[in-house]
């Protein structure tokens, strides 16, 4: 019996590729560049399944040109805002993602960004690295302390909960907004807010962990930034579309926001070049889940979904 033919659009972890090649007829994009519209459309005629990353966009105009062979898209990501789910459903193409396995790694990056933004990591590194550390005084590089501060979390899903546990280790006063209130056993005593504005008023620190949807686009805009306590810190490890970047620059310029930690941007790759003018923005290139353990787990989760589908079962992570 012929093995199902799958296209892996990026260079995934070695363990993932080794497993995939044992079980499937695999074509791997070892050049590791994002698949183009033309390549994605062509793949729908040539492959039974695609294992893409967030870098491959399955928009309605692309999906409308798909051939009949493609049956399942097993995403190597949690977020699926790069997939037009309605268009894919019309083509009877299943879509899965990889939840659970990257929560801790992403929460770790959020903690790194929050600490870096609060304690002037960018400026401090530059001063030492450039050889310009010539003196010290009690007023030198005084930052914002996490311990005992109020942290607001927007989105208390898997990543938000993992982040809250880590913030609890810093003795932070945890508040959250979520579509639904969580059970106390899950929220670990965090204070629930039924609207974002109420949360923002008490957020000395704010961390975003909600998905990118039409409803959350530019969720943090000028009006909401102005609700936050003066000198607050903002962290985003979710999606760049959540923040109005021009409004954020204005808030940084005025001092309303004293520091920012970012792992994602409206334009990726590349980010916002205007951000480089600010030493109080600690930036990373969308590496929230970039650990060996997590990359292996994400790849295996995607393959688990394929295994279930080709065995005639419903994939665990079917959307």
Q: Catalytic amino acids?
A: 239, 268, 286
Distance, C-alpha 306 to centroid of its chain: 23
Residue 82 and residue 164: Cα distance in Å, rounded?
A: 27
Residue in the structure block whose two tokens are 């979904």: 305
How many beta carbons lie within 10 A of that of residue 255, not counting itself? 10
């Amino acid at each position: 019996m012929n093995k199902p033919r799958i296209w892996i659009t990026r260079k995934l972890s070695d363990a993932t590729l080794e497993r995939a090649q044992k079980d499937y007829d695999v074509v791997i994009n070892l050049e590791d560049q994002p698949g183009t519209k033309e390549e994605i459309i062509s793949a729908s005629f040539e492959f039974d399944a695609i294992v893409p990353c967030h870098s491959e966009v399955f928009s309605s105009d692309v999906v409308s040109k798909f051939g009949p062979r493609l049956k399942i898209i097993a995403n190597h990501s949690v977020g699926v805002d790069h997939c037009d789910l309605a268009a894919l459903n019309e083509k009877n193409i299943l879509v899965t993602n990889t939840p659970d396995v990257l929560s801790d790694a992403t929460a770790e990056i959020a903690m790194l960004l929050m600490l870096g933004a609060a304690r002037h990591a960018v400026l401090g590194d530059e001063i030492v690295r450039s050889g310009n550390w010539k003196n010290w005084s009690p007023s030198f590089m005084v930052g914002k302390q996490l311990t005992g501060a109020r942290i607001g979390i927007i989105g208390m899903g898997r990543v938000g909960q993992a982040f809250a546990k880590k913030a609890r280790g810093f003795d932070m006063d945890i508040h959250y907004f979520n579509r639904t209130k969580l059970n106390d056993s899950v929220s670990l005593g965090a204070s629930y807010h039924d609207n974002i504005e109420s949360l923002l008023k008490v957020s000395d620190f704010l961390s975003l962990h909600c998905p990118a949807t039409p409803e959350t686009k530019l969720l943090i805009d000028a009006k909401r930034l102005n609700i936050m306590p003066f000198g607050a810190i903002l962290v985003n490890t979710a999606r760049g579309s959540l923040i109005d970047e021009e409004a954020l620059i204005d808030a940084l310029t005025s001092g309303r926001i004293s520091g920012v930690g970012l792992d994602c941007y409206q334009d990726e790759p590349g980010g916002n070049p205007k951000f480089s003018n600010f030493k109080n923005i600690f930036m990373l290139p969308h590496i929230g889940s970039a650990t060996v353990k997590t990359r292996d787990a994400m790849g295996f989760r995607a393959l688990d979904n394929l295994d279930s589908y080709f065995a005639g079962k419903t994939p665990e992570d079917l959307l």
